[in-house]
Amino acid sequence: MSLPSDLSLLHESVWHWAEHTPEAPAVVGSSGALSYSALALKAGRVARMLQDLGFSRGARAALLMDGSVECCVGMLACLRAGGCYLPLGVGNPPARLAAVIRDAEPEAVMTVSALVPLLAQALELAGVCPKAVIVLDGPPEPGEGGAPALTCRMLVPADFIHAPAPRPCPSIGSDLAYILYTSGSTGVPKGVMVRHDNARAYLGWMARHFGISPADRLSGHASPTFDISVHDIFGAFFSGASVHPLETPAQKAFPGPFIAARGITCWNSVPSVIAMMVRSRQLTPGAFPSLRLAVFAGEPLAPGLAKAWLDALPHCELYNNYGPTETTIVVTAHKVVQVDLGKPVPIGRPTSPTECLILSPGSMLPAGPGLPGRLFVRGAQVSAGYWRRSELTQKAFVSNPLQPDINDILYDTGDLAYRDESGVIHYVGRADNQVKVRGYRVETGDVEAALASLPGVVEAAVLAVVGRDGAELAACVSGPAAGVPDPEDALLRALAEALPAYMLPHQVYFFDELPKNGNGKTDRKVLLGQVEALMREQAEQH
């Protein structure tokens, strides 16, 4: 059974399966599972409470929780009430959470009891008081964590356990489904606005291309702040399958036992996880007999890692996918059948709802086969732009120069790529200072802004270097900060107050002065050479 074509909203699939396969498992957590009927009932009650609070079309609800049964309930409740959800990173420091909360101004925040202290700190720093904080798993312990008390209304399951069915959802396909915040070059996170139509277009392609069925069990490895979580959660719901969130740090760090115990059939993650599984000897021949599909995206898939996967699990289809958040999860896919260790793994061909244009920077005309150009994306998956950042939106979402007479918008990925003679797309690299670190997109300017704000830092530059498991960040600074005891530790501890863990530099290098080019600007090419030389010296010493 497939979904009716007239279901246009992201959440409607859950209520469809609740009617047609009510007892089928929808989301399975460590403490139990919810069937489709139970999930629809629980999310519906929370949605009604949101509506009674005045939550309506276009409203925003923040989610401070990691992947879990409660997280799925919260996402669906926001959508069913007519609004959109915006995830907050549970690993972010309070100051970073406060910056997102101030920018998004959510009408409500959903969380779990263990994270109430962190949320209270963030709300206090943000100076924001939403209409309610909804604690989905029950009230927190009094005084837990020594954090400031919540100053706004708090609601717990006892407050909505008997809520009636929600009123009709006012949303249409062009309304927002979620906002995902990514790193910003000026130090201010930017929110990517994704419509129901964008996500539905991707999920329809995904279900067909990968043959997702109700018998499948999808993993939930990614944080809700990472858009491949939509692939896992709503990809399962779209096809009547079940999603299995990885809920603990141990499960995320060592997912092999989880994959085997849950009988996961479809795994979705970032390539650096393969490196970790190889080192920890989890990726061994025949390790995961249930696994039929493995999809990797978010960062380049190294040929050696692809070969390690194919050698260990020849029965499992392996895909290398590509897609910025602004183009809704994935816009190209490549099935890896064989690997040439001397060549990068291609990123493949576009998804059916999109077209990828590779344009020569000077002429803005299509680049010929084998010639690199700037990668632009058009089609149904291109998102609505950045929340309250019209100038940034106009810069990244541009008119189609090949069809100037129609209202057609392209997203400028900032990536360089080329097509080979057969039409397969190959990723070349970034055209700016943005990098991918462990699957997260990071603007080096964001880290530089945080560094430059610290006492004792006169100059700051952040570079992407190749480390043991792929891209790492190296911070280069000059100024009095180098003169304090254990200066690297001091700087990293100070940065941790402002940035999430994935944005912290792997190492800090101190200079009397950063090298300059003829225009007096930091010469990043020379600086990179100096850092790489220092890294080689460190490796030789160890």
Q: In the chain, where are the structural domains located? A: 12-171, 217-430, 434-541
Sheet strands (E) in 206-298: 217-220, 242-245, 266-269, 293-296
Q: Work out the pLDDT band at 352, boundaries 50, 70, 90.
A: very high
What is the pLDDT at residue 518?
Answer: 58
Candidate from 136-140, 209-213, 354-358, 408-412 with smallest mean pLDDT:
136-140
Fold of the domain spanning 217-430: Rossmann fold (3.40.50)
Q: Which phi and psi angles does 95 have, rounded to 5°?
A: -65, -40
Of residues 212, 167, 213, the one with CA closest to residue 21:
213
What is the pLDDT at residue 127?
Answer: 94
Fold of the domain spanning 434-541: GMP Synthetase; Chain A, domain 3 (3.30.300)
Q: Work out the pLDDT band at 513, boundaries 50, 70, 90.
A: confident
Q: How far apart are the first and last CA of the chain?
A: 59
Whether the pLDDT of residue 448 is over 90: the answer is no
What is the pLDDT at residue 342?
Answer: 76
Residue 472 φ/ψ region, left for φ over 0, alpha for ψ in the -120 to 50 degree band, beta for the rest? beta
Q: Work out the pLDDT band at 199, boundaries 50, 70, 90.
A: very high
Contact criterion met (CB below 8 Å) for 379 and 410: no
Q: How many whole angstroms separate alpha carbon 60 and alpha carbon 56?
A: 9
Whether the pLDDT of residue 2 is over 80: the answer is no
Please give the C-alpha separations between residue 504 and each of 29, 248, 477, 510, in angstroms, as whole numbers: 30, 22, 14, 16
Report the range out of 288-297, 449-458, 511-520 with the highest average pLDDT: 288-297
Please give the C-alpha separations between residue 261 and each of 216, 235, 289, 481, in angstroms, as whole numbers: 14, 21, 11, 49
Pairing of β 349-350 and β 354-359: unpaired
Whether the pLDDT of residue 209 is over 90: the answer is yes
Whether the pLDDT of residue 519 is over 70: the answer is no
What is the pLDDT at residue 162?
Answer: 93
Q: Work out the pLDDT band at 299, boundaries 50, 70, 90.
A: confident
The pLDDT tens digits of the residues spanning 456-467 come to 887 888 888 887
Whether the pLDDT of residue 290 is over 60: the answer is yes
State the amino acid at position 209 in one-letter form. H
What is the pLDDT at residue 246?
Answer: 95
The pLDDT tens digits of the residues spanning 120-170 come to 999 999 999 999 999 999 988 776 545 567 888 999 999 999 999 999 999
Of residues 302, 295, 341, 301, the one with CA closest to residue 318:
295
Range list of H helices, 324-433:
390-396
The pLDDT tens digits of the residues spanning 438-447 come to 777 787 877 8
What is the pLDDT at residue 1?
Answer: 63
Whether the pLDDT of residue 394 is over 70: the answer is yes
Q: How many whole angstroms separate alpha carbon 351 and alpha carbon 209?
A: 9
Q: Do 12-171 and 217-430 share a fold?
A: yes
DSSP state of 155: E
What is the pLDDT at residue 148?
Answer: 61
Please give the C-alpha separations between residue 477 and each of 512, 522, 523, in angstroms, as whole numbers: 8, 11, 13
The pLDDT tens digits of the residues spanning 14-28 come to 999 999 999 999 999
Contact criterion met (CB below 8 Å) for 92 and 39: no
Q: How many whole angstroms separate alpha carbon 391 and alpha carbon 454?
A: 28
Q: How many whole angstroms separate alpha carbon 323 and alpha carbon 398?
A: 18
Whether the pLDDT of residue 361 is over 90: the answer is no
The pLDDT tens digits of the residues spanning 239-286 come to 999 999 999 988 988 999 999 999 999 999 988 888 889 888 999 998
pTM metric for this prediction: 0.85
Show the tokens assigned to 67. Answer: 């992947």
Q: How many whole angstroms separate alpha carbon 242 and alpha carbon 264?
A: 10
Show the tokens assigned to 537. Answer: 């010296």
What is the pLDDT at residue 173?
Answer: 96
Of residues 208, 270, 265, the one with CA closest to residue 241:
265
Q: What is the mean pLDDT of the chain?
A: 91
Q: How many whole angstroms separate alpha carbon 508 and alpha carbon 184?
A: 21
Please give the C-alpha separations between residue 192 and each of 95, 108, 179, 329, 393, in angstroms, as whole numbers: 20, 19, 5, 12, 9
Strand, helix or coil for residue 535: helix
Whether the pLDDT of residue 541 is over 60: the answer is yes
Whether the pLDDT of residue 181 is over 70: the answer is yes
State the amino acid at position 134 in one-letter form. I
Q: Which residues contact 364 (CB under 8 A, 6 or more apart)?
A: 401
State the amino acid at position 501 in one-letter form. A
Task: Give percent above pLDDT 70 in the chain.
Answer: 96
Contact criterion met (CB below 8 Å) for 47 and 40: no
β-partners of residue 436 are 441
Fold of the domain spanning 12-171: Rossmann fold (3.40.50)
Task: Give percent above pLDDT 90 in the chain.
Answer: 68
Whether the pLDDT of residue 433 is over 90: the answer is no
What is the pLDDT at residue 77?
Answer: 98
What is the pLDDT at residue 453?
Answer: 77
* Count of residues in the chain: 542
What is the pLDDT at residue 243?
Answer: 98
Q: How many whole angstroms separate alpha carbon 127 and alpha carbon 147?
A: 15
* Cα 104 versus chain centre, distance: 17
What is the pLDDT at residue 23?
Answer: 98
Show the tokens assigned to 347. Answer: 């990123």
